[in-house]
Amino acid sequence: MNETGYVKTEYLEGIKKITFFHPKGNSLPSELLTALACEITLSGKEPESRVIILQSEGEKVFCSGASFDELLSIKTYEEGRTFFLGFGNVILAMKNCPKMIIGRIQGKIVGGGLGIVSACDYTIAHQSASVRLSEFSLGIGPFVIASAVARKMGTAAFSRLTTDTEWYDSHWAKQNGLFYDVVDSIEELDNKVNKLSAKLAGYSPQAAGELKKLLWHGTDDWEQLIQQRAETVGNLVLSDFTRDYLKQFIDK
């Protein structure tokens, strides 16, 4: 097993698959977030890639969010800001990519992973794909991913996820706009993802690029907004409340 995780790509007939993996619940440390943002950006520039499938390895967890090991190691504001900006950079890469991005969601989604799923242009999920935002309980909050989640699910659903910090099932997530389809088996998930990606790969890439701009209209200020919110949470992670919480976690 690869202990540091990886991001890998595969290309087939106009379809680019980007897959990430980490042995700790497909969490995403900074190194993998940087690699993921780079692969999405590069894929957007490739003429032969007409549609992107974003997926992770395994069956139970799509993404468990940021690396908790890294979170525990933060000692300065700058380290905190850089840490939380990692998911923001992936979201910005997805927003700016001129290709349609299909999310293949096979399992649970936590924290920053919800921002990545929200930035997909189309999402198909297995029925086990429950969602949770737990950051508020740590004394911080999902500030960096807020724009992406609220854009996809609406302010009311985002507020509920943020303040309640409990699990919500895939059907609730579909009802609130995060998923477009929820299926009962991995086989059906793959069939639907493959069928949709093949259809999109046959469409005009110019039209797809213009449609992508239309779908993301009104998000031109996100780069500045995400930077500001990374600064906010970079300060919060150094608060006495959060440090005490993390110390209790370490001492367990």
Q: Which residue has the higher pLDDT, 252 or 203?
A: 203
Q: How confident is the model at residue 250 (pLDDT cuts 50, 70, 90)?
A: low
- Alpha helices, DSSP H only, in the chain? 30-45, 68-73, 77-96, 112-118, 146-153, 155-164, 170-175, 186-201, 205-215, 222-236, 240-251
Q: Which amino acid is at 183?
A: V
The rounded mean pLDDT for the chain is 94
Tens of pLDDT, residues 43-93: 999 999 999 999 999 989 999 998 888 888 899 999 999 999 999 999 999
**The predicted structure's pLDDT at residue 249:** 67
- Read off the tokens for 67: 């690396």
Report all structural domains of the chain as residue ranges with CATH numbers, in order of start. 6-184 (3.90.226.10)
For the chain, state the CA radius of gyration: 17
Residue 21 is predicted with a pLDDT of 97
Q: How many CB atoms are located within 10 Å of the residue 7 CB?
A: 21
Mean pLDDT throughout 202-228? 96
Of 17-21, 34-38, 56-60, 70-74, the least confident: 70-74
pTM: 0.95
Q: What are the CA-CA distances from residue 137 to residues 36, 63, 88, 166, 191 (Å)? A: 27, 19, 21, 10, 38
Cα 152 to Cα 29: distance, rounded to the nearest angstrom: 24
Which tens digit of pLDDT belongs to each residue from 129-164?
Answer: 999 999 998 889 999 999 999 999 999 999 999 999
227-246: burial string, b at 16+ Cβ within 10 Å, e else = eebbbbbbebbeeeebeeeb
